Structure 1
Amino acid sequence: MKRFGAALKRAAPWAAQNADGAIALGLAVIVGVLGILPDELFGGAEVQSQLVSAATLLILALVSTALLRDRMRQAPVEKTITSGALAELPVRLERLEQIETLVTGTRRALDELQLVRVLASPLEIAQAHADARALTSRWSFKGGTGTYLRAVTLPHCVAAARRDKRHLTLRIEIIDPSDAEVCEAYAHYRRSLADTDGTGERWTTERARKESYATVLAAFWHRQRYGLLDIVLGLSATMTTFRWDLSASRVIMTIEDPNRALTALAGTFYYESCDTELRLSLEQARRVPLESYKRVPLSDEPTVEEVQELFQQIGLALPRAYNDHDVVDITRKALRAEDPYEIPRHP
């Protein structure tokens, strides 16, 4: 009895909240009991049948009442959902599309950043340049005076193109040797980093000027000797602390620290941005008329007179203070430049 009483106490709150359902359930139990009792208890089968029918109608009425009540309870909820959440659904879907677009763009940017690598040693930088030169059909350079370009990049790229009998395009931008201010600014910058570079020479205004003259001379000398070589050379009135070397496969950005550089493969955002920057910068530079390379033929070992005549013809005359020794120095730098970043070989 105690358990039955406890069960009734637990069921009482539910029965109070769902009175119609509880009554219907109770009547259904009673109808079931009436249906299985003997007819004699009700004074005949007809009386029993009437009781069952009446109870059944009452149960149906209670069930209908419960359904109507539930409908009334659900109506405000459906109205709230329809007027609230569903009304905001297009806005929320639009926000989801924006978030998805942002996530996709971020993932793409991260993927491209992963392809921008930091080179942290002279060996890595040298290998990156070697990989960039391999089978390339074009090369763009922007930097100071182009010392490494003359010593390594230009002769190696021309030799590879000549061996494969293919076309090669070079786009070069260096400081203007006739502009004393930019030569002094570049020399001062290099001296502030180190007294000498890998060649053992000290950077002065005259050295910066001669190095640039040497790059111009080297461009003409190689152009005269390989018919499938196209060179565009520009002289800038401003200096940059960066050097860009861009081939068909990758771009390498170096600074005066031989242990630090950045590289990115072709097709990445960084590569395409550098390519655009180099093109636009070269368009603003003073153009050297390399198309006139046939006017003054240069010997395998150009003479002082040939070099002087060349610079005179292209409107870039050497300073009057230069003597034969200065011209020979420029020629040596043009054709036998020392690699300032060469890695020492141990015996």
Structure 2
Amino acid sequence: MTRFKAVLKLAAPWAARNADVAIALVLAIVVGVLGLLPEDIFGKDGGADVQKQLVTAATLAVLALVATALLRDRARQAPVERAITSGALAELPVRLRRLEEIETLAHSTRSALDALQLVRVLGSQHEIAQCHDEARRDTARWSFKGGTGTYLRAVTLPSCVAAARRDKRHLTVRIEVIDPADPEVCEAYAHYRRSLSDVPDGTGETWTTDRARKESYATILAAFWYRQRYGLLDIAVVLSSTMTTFRWDISSTRLIMTVEDPNMAMTALAGTFYYENCDTELRLSFEQARRVPLEMYKKVPLGDEPTIEEVQELFERIGTPLPKSYDGRDVVDIARKALRAVDPYGKQLPDVHRGVS
């Protein structure tokens, strides 16, 4: 009895909230029971008719209650549907437009912030090398302005030419280095490098006026050598009578500005304010420097291993003769620096120039 009362207490609130459904359920049970009862219970004469009438009446009552419940539910749902239709759904197009506007604004804000971030500081030798790798990747052009172009000859130029040759695409290179025929600028550059460190650098050499001169001659020789071996290379070299303490490398995708500290550099992506202005600066500086006549590359052919005579004749023909004090060992040293330069910040790329011969 106690259990029955407990069940009744739980069922009573539900039955009160759903009276019509509860009555329909009870009547359905009654109809089912009436249909199962024997006909003689309702009387021997006409019991079957009485049973049918009771079942029919109860069935109609159940249907009426069900219909009433459906109508009541629809009446309750109608205000909700109207609210949804006239409210949230009606405002949906407006909200979608606002979301699009917010997305556009966020994109514009991000672009503006990227543009305002002029440079990113690179704080390690590994990070600088990785940045150079990314800059060289699939680039169609490279501009350099610096001292003598040692790293350019050791890594940048052979890597870019080899990649362009592999993909059979055009490559434009612009190089500005100090004038080897100007002893004052060579001495100024060597003095500056010695003032920072008087010990041998990553190449194993110390900086002297003669070394600065040879490094610059080597850059000129390397430009002719690569031009003769890759027809889609558009390379130009100019010689400056003033030195710079910075080195600029600009590719299609980024700018990298390095200093003598191998663990410090700055970079900026293409399209930023700093990139575009540095690119303009290098173009103007390039136009004002003394141009090397690289269009004469066909007149003085260089072998895979240039001979002393070939190197001497090349510099004579382009109007930048080697010093008379240079002997055969000096010329060989220039050729070695041109085609087998040692990376001052890492490992040497052995015989990388053979990939373009």
SS of 1:185 mapped into structure 2: helix
Q: Which residue of 2 aligns with 1:243?
A: 247
Query: Would you say how many aligned residue pairs link Structure 1 and Structure 2?
Result: 240
Stretches of 4+ moved more than 3 A in 1? 106-111
- Aligned counterpart for 2:190 among listed residues 183, 187, 192: 187
2:233 maps to 1:201: no
Per-residue deviation, residues 101-150 of structure 1 (Å, max 9, x unmatched): xxxxx997754243521000000000000000000000000000000000
Q: Which amino acid aligns with 1:171?
A: R
Label 1:122 to 1:343 Cα distance change in 2 as closer, same or farther (>3 A). Answer: farther
1:166 paired residue number: 169
1:129 and 2:132 matched: yes
**Is residue 137–residue 169 contact of structure 1 (8 Å, CA) maintained in 2?**
yes
Measure, in 1, the Cα distance between the counterparts of 2:149 and 2:340: 13
Instruction: Work out whether 1:265 is the aligned partner of 2:265.
Output: no
CA distance in 2, matches of 1:343, 1:204: 23
Counterpart Cα distance in 2 of 1:243 and 1:145: 10
Q: Does 1:328 align with 2:332?
A: yes
Match of 1:295 among 299, 314, 326: 299
Unaligned runs of 5+ in 2: 1-108, 349-357
State whether residues 178 and 186 of structure 2, in contact with CA within 8 Å, keep that contact through their aligned partners in structure 1: yes
Alpha-carbon contact 1:123-1:343 (below 8 Å) kept: no
8 A Cα contact 2:202 2:346, kept in partner: yes
What residue identity is the alignment partner of 1:139? Answer: W
Q: Considering only aligned residues, what root-mean-square deviation do their CA atoms show, in Å?
A: 1.7
Tell me if the contact between 1:141 and 1:173 (Cα under 8 Å) persists in the aligned partners: yes
Partner of 2:236, secondary structure, is strand
Residue 146 of structure 1 aligns with which residue? 149
Aligned pair partner of 1:118 in 117, 121, 137:
121
Is contact 1:122–1:343 with CA below 8 Å preserved after alignment? no
For the Cα contact (< 8 Å) 2:149–2:177, is it kept in 1?
Answer: yes
Q: Which amino acid aligns with 1:324?
A: G
Q: Partner letter of residue 261 of structure 1? A: A
Equivalent position of 1:211 in the other structure: 215
* Partner secondary structure for residue 219 of structure 1: helix
SS at match of 2:135: helix
Residue 233 of structure 1 contacts residue 290 of structure 1 at CA under 8 Å; is this kept in 2? yes
Once the two structures are TM-superposed, the CA of residue 290 in structure 1 deviates from its matched residue by 0.2
TM-score by length of 2: 0.65
Q: 1:340 aligns with which of 337, 344, 352?
A: 344
TM-score normalised by structure 1 residue count: 0.67
Q: Which amino acid aligns with 2:303?
A: S
1:232 Cα deviation (Å)? 1.3
Gaps of 5+ in 1: 1-105
Aligned-partner Cα distance in 1 for 2:236–2:223: 9
Farther-moved stretch of structure 1 (260-269 vs 334-343):
334-343
- What is the identity, as a one-letter code, of the residue corresponding to 2:289? A
Offset, 1:197: 1.2
Once the two structures are TM-superposed, the CA of residue 341 in structure 1 deviates from its matched residue by 0.7
The percentage of aligned residue pairs carrying the same residue is 78
Matches within 5 A, 1:77-88: none
